Each structure stands twice: as structure tokens, then as C-alpha cells.
Amino acid sequence: MLYPIGEQDFRSLREGGYVYVDKTMFIQKLVDSGTKYCFLARPRRFGKSLFLSTLKYFFEGQRELFKGLYIDTVNHDWESRPVLYLDLNSDRYAEPGKLDGVLDRLLREWEEKYAVEVKDSDFAQRFATVIARAHEMTGRQVVILVDEYDKPLVGNLNKDRNFEHYRSRLASLYSNFKSGADHIRLVFLTGVSRFSKLSVFSDLNNLEDITFLDAYSDICGITERELTDNFHHGIRAFADANGLNDEEAVATLKDNYDGYRFAWRGSDIYNPWSVLNCLKQSVVAYYWNETGLPTIIAESLKRVNADLEKTLDTFCSDKDLKGFDLLNPNPAALLYQTGYLTIKQYIPRLKRYRLGIPNKEVRAGLLDTLLPYYVKTGRTTPNQVVSDIAMYFMSGEPDMAMQEVQTYFAGIPYDLKMDNENNFHNAFYILLDLIGLEAKAEAHTSDGRIDLLIETEDFIYIIELKYDRSAEEALRQIEEKHYDLKFRTDGRRIFRIGVRFSSTTRRIEDWLIKR
């Protein structure tokens, strides 16, 4: 099979013989709806660019590219319209002048194509002239497709001056969507976030945001049925390469790459980028994590002192998810819009979404990125410390494991205020997830909650932490509340560990272990 990894041009994909998951039924929905202004938000690498490219060729009337697809079975006139494709995904926008270069190049192409005599240097005015001229020259209203409309903004979330420069530039450019309405058949914008302070959303009172609509929940990404219908040969090859049967292969793909949901009644969605790479290489790896700039997310979370444990499993309102306010950032909304959290549940009565991490790939990538922001170690990397902790717990050496845990907490930077237990729990929460063992925080028993329970094939570790109180008190609590009671007939060796953490020295001061 030919996997279209990184192939975002619909024509190249179809003519090159790549496998294509048919999404053209959503074009039909758009046409039938009569929508004039449309917005879709999805995380990076989810197929937004390919869908826009598909729209481009459809509205240009290139029916031969759609043979055998759903849209070819529906009655259309297939008339050709002028399409202005504004691709903002082509640069990183590290400097304010980058956008000007991208816009000037695109405008020059359109001005030449539609014989526009350039009389103004202002980008917004030049864009308005092109829209009007394209309509006048062809006699048909214009289709405007904007790929990653917010790319300059997302890349500058933590750079206020750059952000405001790009916000102003884009607001002026997008104002043409309202003023040029008589010349426009469709405006379709895609992006990662719906920035509430950008005028495009306040000016267009008839803008339809299809991001959360059930009817469009599968417009990007791959459903499980699409996976098994379109990639059965790839699944078989992946299964053979990894000693699995077909059901086990799909379950492995599901654990690592599925779990996204973009509408509360919608299907679970696989990350297409990761699935295609995994099937092509027959290797489970964290492909999506390598494609973005998650440091921006880490910096934003640290800047607002986010409580990670609560943020990564939380509830949000419709308003939280549908807009992003830079002046009052909601960490959970930012993580949702960038693909690190997804919808797990919807409570209609409260109009609130429950959010959680989609799958193993996202969990590993996010926490691996966050770890260096919360923990600094002198002699080795934070990830090496975590590996050593896991190794010692696996081999039944809790004292050595605790020495490494001490190193971990000793590396928490001073600017994380440890007089507030929130940051201590943040670093601790990341550690639990990165250990990679069967680790549970605040595990419930009949007499209370164990701070940390770690289970391996041969050992059980019951750990109680005391903040500015003694290790003896922590160990005594384990024994008095009989936290080990339900494990006594388990057959594995049990270790009880009491730990004292000092807010003054910002270290794990000591621990006691009872076997």
C-alpha cells in the first residue's frame, strides 16, 4: 500500500495511487447546507490541509479526480469557480515580517492570474481587489480556503509583541470576508484554535463553527471502521511483523493512536498521521509527538502555574472550548485545542465536557515534554532518573529507587514555589506516569487512600508521603490503617515506605522502609 504520509495535495494523492479515506460526503453536506462562512478546528496533522485541498479541486470542477468516490455519485453541475487558497501553514512565523512575505507571494500569484493592476501596497486592500476581480472576470462567486488561519498566532502564544502584530495583520486581512460578501460563495477556515479576540469571529455573525457538530465529527482523522475497511492489508502486515493476530493488531493501534472525540455523540477517532506511519513501518512509535512544538504548551502551562493532575482530567464548559482568550488562558482549553486532551464525556444538563488524555502516544509525549520544565537534574537527564526508578522498583530494590526519587525531587527548580503543595504534586504526578509501571495515586482502600501504590510482577509498594511531617508518621499511618490488608494473600512481596518531604529544603529528607 502507498501511504500518503505528508501528502496534502488531493490531486497528487489521487494520481499517485495512494490509499485515500473517502471524506467527500462532507463536501456534499457543506453544499447542501448552503453555508457561506465555515470554521473547523482540529489538532495538527489531522488532515485539515488535505480536506481543504479536496474542496479546492471540487470547486474548480475537476471531476475526473473524484471518480469512484462518494461525491461522484451525487448530482452536481461541477461548474468551475475561482478558488483562492490561502496557505498559512508554510512558515513558522518566528519574526513579525514572515507573514508579509507569505501574503505578498500569494497576492502576486492571484494578481497575475486575474489581471489585477496593483495600485495599493496594503495587503488587506490588495486581497479585496483580487476577490472582486476574480468574481468579475469569471462571472462566478469566489471560494476562499484558509489553511491554518491561526498558525502565526499559535506559534507566538508566549511572545506578546509578535502575537499582537500578527493578530492585527490577520484581523485586517480577514475583514474582507464581510466587506466582500457579494463576491463570495464560500469561506472555509481551518486552524487549531478559535481565538476569541480575533475579529473574524465577531464580525461574521453568520459564521458556522462545525468543530463540535456531530454531523462533522469524522471530517478529519480515521474512524475504526475506516481503519479496517481501508487498511486491512497494512493491519495484516503490522500483525505479522509484531507476532499478533489481526484483532490484537487493531487493539494495539487503538491503545496508542485512538481515543480522540470531537463531538459528544461522535465516533472515536484515530490520529491519521500516527496510524499511517505505524502501518508503513510496522513499528509502534510516537510519531505525532515529533511533529510539533509542545514546548509552547509547556511554557504556557508553567506560566499560569497550572495544576497538571486536575488539568489533565477535568471538566470544561462549551465557552471554554470554543474560544481561547490569551489574556485569561484556560490550560485545559489550550490542551484540548492542540490535541493533548479530548472529549471523554458530555453532561447535557450542565453543558460541560469531561476532558482526558486520548491515548498512550499523547500521554507519553506530553509528560516527556513537561518533565524538564518541572525537574532539573545535575548528573543526568530527568528521563534517565525515571528509568532508574523503574528499574529499581522492578528488581525489588526500594532503597535504591528512593534514592533516585530523592534526586528527582531535588531537581525541582526554585522558581516553582514549594510552599504551595500544588507544584510538588505536579512533579510527583509526572513521575507516576513516566515510571511506566502499574502506579496509582491516591489508591482507595476500606480505611483510606494510599498516596502511591506501585505494583510490579513480583512486588507491591505502598508509599505514604508526608509534607513537613516525619517518615515515622507516614509509616505508622500505613500500618494503622492496614493499607496492605487486601494484598496479604496476593503472593507478591510487600514493601511499606514512609516518606518525609521538606518545604524548607525542597527535598525528600528521609524515608523508612518496612518489608
Give me the DSSP letters along 174-208. Answer: HTHHHHTGGGEEEEEEEES--BTTSHHHHH-TTEE
Position with higher pLDDT, 36 vs 411: 36
- Asked whether 358 and 373 are in contact (CB, 8 A), the reply is no
pLDDT higher than threshold 90 for residue 123: yes
Tell me the pLDDT of the chain averaged across its residues: 87
pLDDT tens for 434-471 read 777 777 766 666 566 787 888 999 999 999 888 888 99
* Residue 459: per-residue pLDDT: 95
Distance CA(402)–CA(389), nearest Å, equals 8
Give me the DSSP letters along 437-454. Answer: SEEEEEEEETTEEEEEEE
Mean pLDDT lowest for which of 141-145, 369-373, 468-472? Answer: 369-373
Number of alpha helices (DSSP H) and beta strands (DSSP E) in the chain? 22, 13
- Asked whether 170 and 152 are in contact (CB, 8 A), the reply is yes
* Residue 192: per-residue pLDDT: 84
Q: What is the side-by-side order of every strand in the sheet holding 459-467?
A: 438-445, 448-455, 459-467, 493-502, 507-514
Enter the pTM of the model.
Answer: 0.82
* Residue 417: per-residue pLDDT: 47
Question: What value does the mean pLDDT take over residues 270-282?
Answer: 97
Question: What value does the mean pLDDT take over residues 168-183?
Answer: 92
pLDDT tens for 329-347 read 688 888 898 899 999 998 8
DSSP 292: S
Question: What value does the mean pLDDT take over residues 370-397?
Answer: 77
Which residues make Cβ contacts (< 8 Å) with residue 370, sequence separation at least 6? 298, 301, 308, 430
Longest dimension (CA), the chain: 86
Comparing CA positions, the residue from 482, 2, 505 lying closest to residue 233 is 2
Give me the DSSP letters along 237-282. Answer: HHHHHTT--HHHHHHHHHHHH--B-SSTTSPPBB-HHHHHHHHHHT
pLDDT higher than threshold 90 for residue 237: yes
Q: For residue 209, what is its C-alpha cell?
A: 463553527
Question: What value does the mean pLDDT take over residues 308-326?
Answer: 77
* Residue 382: per-residue pLDDT: 66
- Asked whether 393 and 437 are in contact (CB, 8 A), the reply is yes
- Residue 263 one-letter amino acid: A
Q: For residue 141, what is its C-alpha cell?
A: 462567486
* Residue 198: per-residue pLDDT: 67
Distance CA(470)–CA(511), nearest Å, equals 9
Give all domains of the chain, ordered by start, each with its CATH number.
10-216 (3.40.50), 224-290 (no CATH), 295-361 (no CATH), 375-514 (3.40.1350)
Distance CA(1)–CA(493), nearest Å, equals 50
Task: Give percent helix, percent strand, percent coil of the chain, each to the nearest 5.
Answer: 45, 20, 35
Q: For residue 320, what is its C-alpha cell?
A: 471554554
Comparing CA positions, the residue from 349, 328, 331, 329 lying closest to residue 341 is 331
pLDDT higher than threshold 80 for residue 226: yes
Position with higher pLDDT, 335 vs 188: 188
Q: For residue 309, what is its C-alpha cell?
A: 493532575
Q: For residue 445, what is its C-alpha cell?
A: 482502600
- Asked whether 152 and 296 are in contact (CB, 8 A), the reply is no
Which residues make Cβ contacts (< 8 Å) with residue 493, sequence separation at least 6? 396, 458, 459, 460, 515
pLDDT tens for 33-56 read 999 999 999 998 999 999 999 999
Distance CA(241)–CA(169), nearest Å, equals 51
Comparing CA positions, the residue from 306, 332, 314, 342 lying closest to residue 430 is 306
